[in-house]
């Protein structure tokens, strides 16, 4: 098939659009998660300061929340304490929305403990977001005092997308806290469990030796006009078997 002369450029534009929109979507979800963490941290602070709740309440809150949301790692005792510290270090929610909410939670956790000055913390958030640094790169830049090496200028924090091929973009697409927040972690875990179980079955069948021939995994078959997939298909002599037929 002969392609039109402008097809390559057309394809390039669509690919870039898909990358950009995917990144926008995941960054939007990340911002919602960060703001939720700030709200929880602020509420814990207020309860402890105004109602006299003790430090042990965080242990109880973690237990109760994890009972309701067993697949969310974000409600560990350590993470709840970091939420409280997050609200304490970032007292203005509007500033959080414009700055801290634009980078991953693990990067924010790093800043909580490594950068005490608020203006300097905002500067590093801006640089992190603009350059698409991963948590490790951010840590390196802080430890080597990047703000002294290149100069720290005042900023209004204009939110822009990080490069779609940056370390931060890659990190945020794999962020387990974000998967948990979106409720997609269980799907990911079930797929991992299926792979492990099928892997063990595959190994077992191959060890049986003569008489068995391994065909493949997720083999497409059509039954009554409907498409199905065999998790595992193998042959024994003149008979064939498929394990767990899935639509």
Dihedral sign, Cα of residue 112, residue 34, residue 171, residue 131: negative
Average pLDDT of the residues in 44-50: 91
- Per-residue pLDDT tens over the stretch 92-128: 999 999 999 999 999 999 999 999 999 999 999 999 9
CB 176 within 8 A of CB 145: no
Task: Give the model's pLDDT for residue 242.
Answer: 46
Q: What is the pLDDT of residues 123-171, one digit of tens each?
A: 999 999 888 899 999 999 999 999 998 877 655 556 677 887 788 888 8
Q: pLDDT tens digit string along 195-243?
A: 666 676 667 666 666 666 656 656 666 666 565 555 555 555 555 444 4
Whole-number Cα distances in Å, 31 to 93, 100, 172, 178: 12, 8, 11, 10
pLDDT score for 53: 85
- Percent of the chain scored above 90 by pLDDT? 46
Whole-angstrom distance between the N-terminal and C-terminal Cα of the chain? 34
Residue with more model confidence, 175 or 127:
127
User: Pick from 123, 130, 110: which is nearest to 149 by CA?
Assistant: 123
The domain limits of the chain are 7-183, 188-246
Q: What is the pLDDT of residue 205?
A: 62
Task: Categorize the per-residue pLDDT at 55 as very low, low, confident or very high, splitting at 50, 70 and 90.
Answer: confident
Within the chain, what is the greatest distance between any pair of CA atoms? 77
Three-state DSSP at 218 gives strand
Residues 61-100 pLDDT 10s? 999 999 999 878 899 999 999 999 999 999 999 999 999 9
DSSP type of residue 160: -
């Amino acid at each position: 098939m002969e392609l039109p002369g402008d097809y390559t450029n057309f394809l390039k534009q669509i690919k870039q659009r898909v990358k950009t929109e995917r990144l926008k979507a995941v960054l939007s979800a990340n911002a919602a998660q960060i703001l939720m963490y700030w709200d929880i941290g602020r509420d814990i602070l207020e309860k402890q300061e105004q109602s006299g709740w003790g430090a042990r309440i965080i242990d109880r809150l973690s237990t109760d929340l994890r009972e309701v949301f067993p697949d969310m790692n974000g409600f560990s005792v350590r993470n709840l304490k970091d939420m409280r510290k997050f609200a304490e270090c970032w007292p203005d929610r509007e500033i959080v929305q414009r700055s801290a909410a634009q980078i991953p939670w693990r990067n924010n956790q790093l800043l909580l403990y490594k950068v005490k000055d608020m203006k300097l913390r905002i500067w590093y958030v801006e640089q992190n977001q603009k350059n698409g640094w991963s948590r490790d790169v951010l840590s390196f830049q802080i430890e080597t005092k990047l703000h002294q090496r290149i100069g720290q200028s005042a900023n209004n924090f204009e939110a822009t997308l990080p490069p779609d091929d940056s370390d931060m973009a890659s990190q945020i697409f794999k962020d387990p806290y974000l998967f948990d927040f979106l409720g997609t972690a269980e799907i990911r875990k079930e797929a991992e469990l299926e792979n492990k179980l099928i892997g063990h079955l595959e190994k077992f069948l191959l060890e049986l030796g003569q008489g068995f021939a391994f065909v493949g995994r997720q083999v497409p078959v059509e039954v009554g006009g409907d498409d199905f997939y065999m998790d595992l298909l193998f042959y024994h002599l003149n008979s064939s078997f498929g394990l767990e037929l899935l639509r």
